[in-house]
Amino acid sequence: MLVVEQILNGLQLGVMLFLMSAGLTLVFGIMGLINLAHGSFYMVGAYVAAWVTGLTGSLFLGLLAALPAAMVVGMGIEVLVMRRLYTRDHLDQVLATFGLILFFNEMARILFGRQPLFLDVPEMLSGTIEILPGVPYPAYRLAIIAVGILVAIALWLLISRTRLGMRIRAGASDREMAAALGANVTGLQTLVFGLGALLAGLAGAMAGPILAVESGMGEKVLILAFVVIVIGGIGSVRGALVAALTVGLVDTLGRAFLPDLLRMVTRDATADSLGANLSQISIYLLMALVLAWKPKGLFPSHG
């Protein structure tokens, strides 16, 4: 029964990671841009959701406000900063976007103070639901999984069934050729960047009631998101989905069961510490294994 619960936990983490990494992988794939500040959009989403919810008392309105806010901030940053970085090398991009992280984190502290903001689960979703007899599971986390699945389907429809999606795919597999064939790459870039920011903002806003809404919260999830896009293959949304769920499951199940497994082998005190350490590196081990097997990730979008 514990296994079922832990698998759900893994799925829920995976869904959040997917929302974070979908935008990141598209930006990386289409613009060739390493954006360390992607976690800041996650933070913007959480802060706006917490702030608006605090004002209105409704998390739904908070969520509704967070999405356009994150998108607008993302598109603004694209126009003001990122455009200047597309042609620069990766080190410049890393430096500039690292600077943006500092800017956003300090801005959050200046605007909202150092103490974390309060954001609670809405009344409707505050209880637990018995998914199997004797296995209660937080309703809010189930809702996150549901939203994640809906977003994944919507993204899949957008990318595989619409004209915009076609352009995005074209941009991801060969940027220059898409531009040469007449796609408006500049507008596409702003739009994709905004879309990515919106998804990150959605993840942040949904995470708000579970986590501490605080400055720097985005960086914690950003590293995992980078692991996801490397495993999934840069530029591939499908890869991001598969990798996000895999990373979520491996991380959660590792944390849940590795220390116990180790304790079966050895009873001494080092088992706890070793188990904790091993479960922490489990996803990096996974990344190393995947890269050894498929150096370009699971679903590379560049030929």
Partner 1 sequence: MTHASTRASSTLVAATLGAAFSLGLSALPLGTAQAQDPVKIGLLTTLSTNGGYLGEDARDGFLLAVDMGGGTLGGVPVDVLVEDDEREPERGAQAAEKLVKADKVEIMTGGIFSNVAMAVVPKVVRDDVFYISPNAGPSALAGKGCHANYFNVAYQNDNQHEAMGQYAQGAGFKSVYLLAPNYPAGKDSLTGFKRFFKGVVAGETYTQLGQSDYAAEIAAIRDAKPDAVFYFLPGGMGINFLKQFNQAGLTKDIQVLGPGFSFDERLLGAVGDAAVGARNSSQWNHDLDNAANKAFTEAFTAKYARPITQYAAMGYDAAQLIGSALKATGGKVSGDRDGFRAALEKADFASVRGDFKFGPNHHPIQSFWLREVVKTDTGIVTNKVSGKIFSEHQDAYAADCTM
CB under 8 Å to 144, separation ≥6 — which residues?
12, 15, 16, 206
Binding-site string for partner 1 from residue 84 to residue 113, where x marks contact by CB under 8 A and - marks none: -------------------------x---x
Here the tokens at position 284 are 């990096």
200/207 with CB nearer partner 1:
207
Q: Of 112, 210, 296, 300, which lies in the binding site for partner 1, with binding defined by CB under 8 A? A: 210
Query: Interface with partner 1 by CB under 8 A: which range of 23-31, 92-100, 155-163, 254-262?
Result: 254-262
254/297 with CB nearer partner 1:
254
- Site size toward partner 1 (CB under 8 A) is 45
Residue 281: CB minimum distance to partner 1, A: 10
63/117 with CB nearer partner 1:
117
169/255 with CB nearer partner 1:
255
Helix (H), strand (E) counts: the chain: 11, 2
d(CA 134, CA 238): 35
Instruction: Yes or no: say if 235 and 12 are a contact pair by the CB < 8 Å rule.
Output: no
Instruction: Yes or no: say if 44 and 201 are a contact pair by the CB < 8 Å rule.
Output: yes
40/189 with CB nearer partner 1:
40
d(CA 23, CA 240): 9
Residue 240: CB minimum distance to partner 1, A: 19
d(CA 271, CA 193): 45
Where does 113-236 have alpha helices with state H?
139-161, 163-173, 175-180, 185-207, 217-232
Binding-site string for partner 1 from residue 261 to residue 290, where x marks contact by CB under 8 A and - marks none: -----------xx--xx--x----------
d(CA 63, CA 66): 5
| DSSP symbol at 299 | S
Binding-site string for partner 1 from residue 224 to residue 253, where x marks contact by CB under 8 A and - marks none: ----------------------------xx
Binding-site string for partner 1 from residue 108 to residue 147, where x marks contact by CB under 8 A and - marks none: -x---xxxxxx-xx----xxx-------x-x-xx------
d(CA 44, CA 217): 10
38/141 with CB nearer partner 1:
141
Q: Where are the beta strands (DSSP E) in 17-176?
A: 128-132, 135-138
130/176 with CB nearer partner 1:
130
Q: Is 56 in the site for partner 1 (CB under 8 A)?
A: no
CA distances from 296 to 148, 219, 233, 287, 300 (A): 26, 24, 6, 11, 6
Residue 181: CB minimum distance to partner 1, A: 43
79/256 with CB nearer partner 1:
256
d(CA 107, CA 230): 30
Residues that bind partner 1 in the complex, under the rule CB under 8 A: 2, 5-6, 9-10, 12-13, 109, 113-118, 120-121, 126-128, 136, 138, 140-141, 207, 209-217, 220-221, 252-253, 255-256, 259, 272-273, 276-277, 280
